[in-house]
Amino acid sequence: MRLFSVRGGVHLDYRKDRTRNLGIVPLPMPALLYLPLTQHVGAAAEPVVVAGQVVRKGEVLATAQGAVSAPVHAPTSGRIKEITGHVSPHPSGLSQSTIVLESDGADAWGALPAGIEDPFAATGQEIARRVAEAGVVGLGGAAFPAAVKLNLRAGHTVDTLLINGAECEPYLTCDDRVMREYAGEVVDGARIMAHALGAARIVIAVEKNKPEAIKAIANAARPFATMAVAEVPVRYPMGSAHHLVKVITGRETPAHGRTASVGVLVHNVGTARAIHHAVRFGRPLISRVVTVSGGALKSGHNIEVPLGTLVRELIDFCGGMVAHADQVISGGPMMGHPLPSLEAPVVKGTCGILALTADETNVQPTGPCIRCGSCVEACPSGLVPLQLATLIQHEDIDGAAKLGVEDCISCGSCSYICPSHIPLMHYFDYANGRLRVLDRKRKHQEKLKTLAEARRQRLERQAAARAAAKAKSARPAAPPTASAQAQTQTQAQAQSKPVGNSAAAASVTGAPVTGLPVTTATETGAGP
Amino acid sequence: MIDLPTDHRGPFTHAPTSIQNTMVLVTLALVPATLFNFWLFGWPSVFLFLLTVFACLGVEAGCLRLQQRPVTVTLLDGSALLTGWLLAMSLPPWAPWWIGVLGAVIALALAKQIYGGLGQNVFNPAMVARVALLVSFPVPMTAFVAPQPLFSAAAPGFLESLKITFGLSLPLDSVSAASALGYIKTELSRGIPVSQAMPEVSGLFDLAVGYQSGSFGETSELLILLGGLFLLWRRVITWHIPVTFIATLFGLGTVFHALGPDRFTDGAFQVLTGATMLGAFFIATDYVTSPVSASGRLVFGFGCGLLTWIIRTYAGYPEGVAFAVLLMNAMTPLIDQGFRPRPFGRTRRGDPLPLKSKP
């Protein structure tokens, strides 16, 4: 298969050997599961169970809210202990609304919706509905509701479905294992998605350092003419959707755009497998494969983890810590984020739990920039990180925006390669955070302006209507009798009395109505 | 609830790169040429080299102490050592001690620390020092010696060499040699065409190997090239600057030599003499003072080659690499503004790519 080149990127020390040849093992069901209502991008799910209620495995615990959201299901059978605040797997460590499920040990399935016998006879909407009901989100880490992406068909012509098995982050081997052990399920899930999208071609992209996975997928895909396996170069961030699309199809997604705008949709291999389960068997997303690794742990594993399991239990399963962990990370070491606590739960987007020693994180004091240009060479977005960092250090956020800081995909290649250990990506995240705040403020002000303008127009209309009514009653066309005319006049005066304002009078004299809108603008602080 | 450290932002892994690493690699790349020159020019060159390098380290340490910045850590980054090394390599090998010491003060104090230290200087410190010395003290800075290999009969002994370096005795007859570029320039000014002067200069082979008069690091073009290739292999530098620099110089030399063989030296001569190799691989590629993007580096290398050729051919000085690099250093901030990579998903002008007709 012909591949296209893409700029930038770095060669990482992959450190995958610890877990890549270990099969996926199931985790013994924990006694308590902590299921946050927000495990996905979009609106929080709304609980439909109450404390004390007994639920069966696969039952809906919380339903999706709005267009971009996902439901939460029970990973096992048991009793709802409580719905309470619990530490979220986010660096802030903020408490998050969480359903606590007490396992009864039976692990008994509840009634599931029947699977679709022949998904290739079903409509795209039907498949997307099933995927939405099963609560499937992107399992590569982004956790974007999968059904929303399947519905993109309405607005775009998608000719290629790209299944992302690049797994370019160090340590992580969960996608590798899923492809090796469940190649058939991945291929079937991909075919179902392609059918739903009307995509003629399916490409499964795998980095060359996973020969077993490539072989397994190629074997499973062989019967299907529309499917191809692409061996992509081992270079981070090959798994970035926009860059993978460029490498496979040569099409470059415009800035701020989606890959769908160039006719390609990208899904993770784990997502394909979850969609296979959801559509064929009506099985919701209640567990996922997580790589648990890192030098601080006694052993590493790929574990099929019920959602809501506490990170502490995974660490215990791997024999605990044998060295001081400098950082405990959720996700990969490049784009993952630090976990605030081992009491945080595994959620749908958790692809790895890494306990890393100081040797592995290799944090060093920051030195001066020597302008070596390594970051420029490494940046896959074509930015000049050292110039951006200088601007941001001087709080010139607008200047950084002009140089394209918003195009940063936070892959961390620049920070990784910098010989002076300058936390470049940190600066860009900071700048983009500031830009988002400014953007929110601007939108808020625009909204206020619109509201003020609407109020001004409304008051103007009211005043005009009143004036018109008064003028009409003041100059009747042909009064039948003198007494009737006098009566009408009295009525008109009576009507105008409670209003009795200068606007009505002014409009009669032809002067412009300006008094009220000015006041309005001043009140809301949105004046010009 | 936070009971684990979360204040650090990723990535949580880092390439085994450091400033020290880079500087050590560049220094290593200079070792073969340095050793060759020690052999070629004998003990005086060793003394001057050591003196210059230690003076640079001393000046850097003094400046850091005055600024109350950490001394040991900063010295260990290796940048002062490298500057000293490059400065020593651009001096005439038998120059007196005060040339080295004054050079160190100019390079480290005036051209580097005053700007704010590593990464802040606009001009290459070693070249600022060389040019300042050349302009201020033209006689000792152009007093080149003919090669007198160590332990050969003509070579000065250890004690005699100490006297040479510390200015107590200057064997005038052995200092009278001119560099190849200087010789041609002088002959041209006397009205003798290049074609006649050329046979008097060492052959191209001698020039390439380095058996020629000149500054300490300007003799063995092949060993410098070897060091440069090492840097390319270890990805310390990219090919852009050295290749465009040398190609421009070679191209101009070849074309003009073909047009006027009596007035212009040929491309190979241009490339194999003077500081061409040292300049292209070690001076112009100085991170701090050269552009950061690939396209910017192409422009920079072209400019260096062009200016070198112009200065060598038309200006009063026989050698133009140092001037050319400094002039292009001054252009670097402008080049960095004008030559950036094309952002992904955008046109060169920065607008989002237009959507082609739906596939």
Tokens of B67: 């600024």
Residue A299 lies in a domain: no
Burial of A528 (0-12, 13-18, 19+ CB in 10 A): exposed
CB pairs under 8 A between A and B: 205
**Do B10 and A334 count as a contact with CB atoms less than 8 A apart?**
yes
Minimum distance, in Å, between the CA of residue A115 and any CA atom of chain B: 34
**Do A342 and B4 count as a contact with CB atoms less than 8 A apart?**
yes
Work out the angle at residue A127's Cα, subtended by the Cα atoms of residues A124 and A129, and round it to the nearest 5 degrees. Answer: 105
Minimum distance, in Å, between the CA of residue A245 and any CA atom of chain B: 12
Q: Are B89 and B283 in contact (CB under 8 A)?
A: no
- Determine the Cα–Cα distance for residues B352 and A408; give it in Å rounded to an integer: 14
Identify whether residues A41 and A173 lie together within a single domain. Answer: yes
Q: What is the pLDDT of residue B211?
A: 75
Exposure of A304 in the CB half-sphere (CA atoms within 13 A): 16
Among the partner-chain residues A91, A367, A373, the one whose CB lies closest to the CB of B293 is A373
Number of neighbouring beta carbons within 10 Å of residue B64: 20
**Cα-based distances in Å from A223 to A139, A213, A375, B132:** 26, 17, 44, 75
Among the partner-chain residues B10, B19, B352, the one whose CB lies closest to the CB of A336 is B10
Q: Does B163 touch chain A (CB under 8 A)?
A: no
- Helix (H) or strand (E) run with residue B125 in it: helix B125-136
Minimum distance, in Å, between the CA of residue A233 and any CA atom of chain B: 19
Q: Are A466 and A496 in contact (CB under 8 A)?
A: yes
**Do B345 and A341 count as a contact with CB atoms less than 8 A apart?**
no
- Determine the Cα–Cα distance for residues B304 and B243; give it in Å rounded to an integer: 11
Residue A312 lies in a domain: no
Q: Does B349 touch chain A (CB under 8 A)?
A: no
Tokens of A37: 């209502």
Last residue of a domain, one of A244, A272, A293: A293
Among the partner-chain residues B343, B344, B358, the one whose CB lies closest to the CB of A263 is B358
Residue A332 lies in a domain: no
Last residue of a domain, one of A266, A293, A320: A293
Residues of chain B with pLDDT under 50: 358-359
Q: In 3-state terms, chain B is what percent helix, strand and coil (to 5)?
A: 60, 0, 40
Identify whether residues A245 and A371 lie together within a single domain. Answer: no
Last residue of a domain, one of A293, A315, A333: A293
Among the partner-chain residues A334, A342, A369, the one whose CB lies closest to the CB of B119 is A369
Which residues, 6+ apart, have CB-to-CB distance to B137 below 8 Å? B99
**Do B352 and A157 count as a contact with CB atoms less than 8 A apart?**
no
- Determine the Cα–Cα distance for residues A350 and A331; give it in Å rounded to an integer: 6
**Do B9 and A426 count as a contact with CB atoms less than 8 A apart?**
yes
Peptide bond into A237 cis (omega under 30): yes
Q: Which of residues 182-241 of B touch A (CB under 8 A)?
A: 238
Best residue in A420, A425, A428, A430 for a mutation probing chain B (most B CBs within 10 Å): A420
- Determine the Cα–Cα distance for residues A140 and A382; give it in Å rounded to an integer: 24
**Do A10 and B15 count as a contact with CB atoms less than 8 A apart?**
yes
Q: CA nearest B344 in A: which residue?
A: A381
- Determine the Cα–Cα distance for residues A288 and A294; give it in Å rounded to an integer: 19
Minimum distance, in Å, between the CA of residue B226 and any CA atom of chain A: 21
Residue carrying structure tokens 């399992």 = A139
Q: What is the pLDDT of residue B44?
A: 87
Q: Does B348 touch chain A (CB under 8 A)?
A: no
Q: Are B158 and B43 in contact (CB under 8 A)?
A: yes
Q: Does B21 touch chain A (CB under 8 A)?
A: yes
Exposure of A160 in the CB half-sphere (CA atoms within 13 A): 23
**Do A327 and B293 count as a contact with CB atoms less than 8 A apart?**
no
**Do A333 and B10 count as a contact with CB atoms less than 8 A apart?**
yes
Q: Is B168 helix (H, G, I), strand (E, B) or coil?
A: coil
Q: What total number of domains does chain A contain? A: 2
Q: What are phi and psi of B89, to 5 degrees?
A: -75, -15
Identify whether residues A75 and A212 lie together within a single domain. Answer: yes
Best residue in B3, B4, B347 for a mutation probing chain A (most A CBs within 10 Å): B4
Q: Does B142 touch chain A (CB under 8 A)?
A: no
**Using a CB-CB distance cutoff of 8 angstroms, which residues of chain B are in contact with residue A157?**
358-359
**Do A255 and B342 count as a contact with CB atoms less than 8 A apart?**
no
Q: CA nearest B332 in A: which residue?
A: A371
Q: Does B286 touch chain A (CB under 8 A)?
A: no
Closest CA to B188 of B51, B276, B316: B316
Look up the CATH architecture of domain B20-336: Orthogonal Bundle (1.10)
Q: Domain containing A224: what range?
A: 24-293
Instruction: Compute the residue count for chain B.
Output: 359
**Do A376 and B341 count as a contact with CB atoms less than 8 A apart?**
yes
Exposure of A361 in the CB half-sphere (CA atoms within 13 A): 25
**Do B344 and A381 count as a contact with CB atoms less than 8 A apart?**
yes
Among the partner-chain residues A360, A362, A368, the one whose CB lies closest to the CB of B119 is A368
Among the partner-chain residues A254, A262, A415, the one whose CB lies closest to the CB of B11 is A415
Residues β-bridged to residue A95: A87
**Do B77 and A263 count as a contact with CB atoms less than 8 A apart?**
no
Residue A361 lies in a domain: no
Q: Are A439 and A465 in contact (CB under 8 A)?
A: no
Best residue in B299, B344, B355, B356 for a mutation probing chain A (most A CBs within 10 Å): B344
Residue carrying structure tokens 């590629």 = B285
Residue A133 lies in a domain: yes
Q: What is the pLDDT of residue A518?
A: 39
**Do B346 and A251 count as a contact with CB atoms less than 8 A apart?**
no
Closest CA to A34 of A341, A352, A351, A356: A341
Q: CA nearest B73 in A: which residue?
A: A367
Q: What is the pLDDT of residue A485?
A: 52
Across A424-459, b (16+ Cβ under 10 Å) vs e yields bbbbbbbbbebbeeeeeeeeeeeeeeeebeebbeeb
Per-position pLDDT tens, chain A of length 528: 789 999 999 999 999 999 999 999 999 999 999 999 999 989 999 999 999 999 999 999 999 998 899 999 999 999 999 999 999 999 888 999 999 999 999 999 998 988 898 999 999 899 999 999 999 999 987 889 998 888 877 778 899 999 999 999 999 999 999 999 999 999 999 999 999 999 999 999 999 999 999 999 999 999 999 999 999 999 999 999 999 999 999 999 999 888 999 999 999 999 999 999 999 999 999 999 999 999 999 999 999 999 999 999 999 999 999 999 999 999 999 999 999 999 999 999 999 999 999 999 998 999 999 999 999 999 999 999 999 999 999 999 999 999 999 999 999 999 999 999 999 999 999 999 999 999 999 999 999 999 999 999 999 999 999 999 998 887 665 555 555 555 555 554 544 444 444 444 444 444 444 434 333 333 333 333
Q: Are A165 and A231 in contact (CB under 8 A)?
A: no
Q: CA nearest B359 in A: which residue?
A: A263
Residue A275 lies in a domain: yes
Tokens of B197: 């002067």
Exposure of A190 in the CB half-sphere (CA atoms within 13 A): 33
Closest CA to B105 of B79, B81, B122, B125: B125
Residue A303 lies in a domain: no
State the ipTM, two decimals. 0.89
Identify whether residues A244 and A375 lie together within a single domain. Answer: no
* CATH number (domain holding residue A165): 3.40.50.11540
Peptide bond into A233 cis (omega under 30): no
Q: What is the pLDDT of residue B201?
A: 74
- Determine the Cα–Cα distance for residues B319 and B127; give it in Å rounded to an integer: 13
**Using a CB-CB distance cutoff of 8 angstroms, which residues of chain A are in contact with residue B238?**
373, 377
- Determine the Cα–Cα distance for residues A88 and A330; give it in Å rounded to an integer: 12
Best residue in A98, A384, A410, A411 for a mutation probing chain B (most B CBs within 10 Å): A384
Residue A319 lies in a domain: no
The domains of chain B are located at 20-336
- Determine the Cα–Cα distance for residues B175 and B168; give it in Å rounded to an integer: 15
Q: Is A256 helix (H, G, I), strand (E, B) or coil?
A: coil
**Do B341 and A379 count as a contact with CB atoms less than 8 A apart?**
yes
Which residues, 6+ apart, have CB-to-CB distance to A264 below 8 Å? A158, A159, A160, A161, A162, A245, A248, A249, A251
Best residue in A11, A359, A372 for a mutation probing chain B (most B CBs within 10 Å): A372
Minimum distance, in Å, between the CA of residue B200 and any CA atom of chain A: 43
**Using a CB-CB distance cutoff of 8 angstroms, which residues of chain B are in contact with residue A238?**
none
Best residue in A246, A312, A362 for a mutation probing chain B (most B CBs within 10 Å): A362
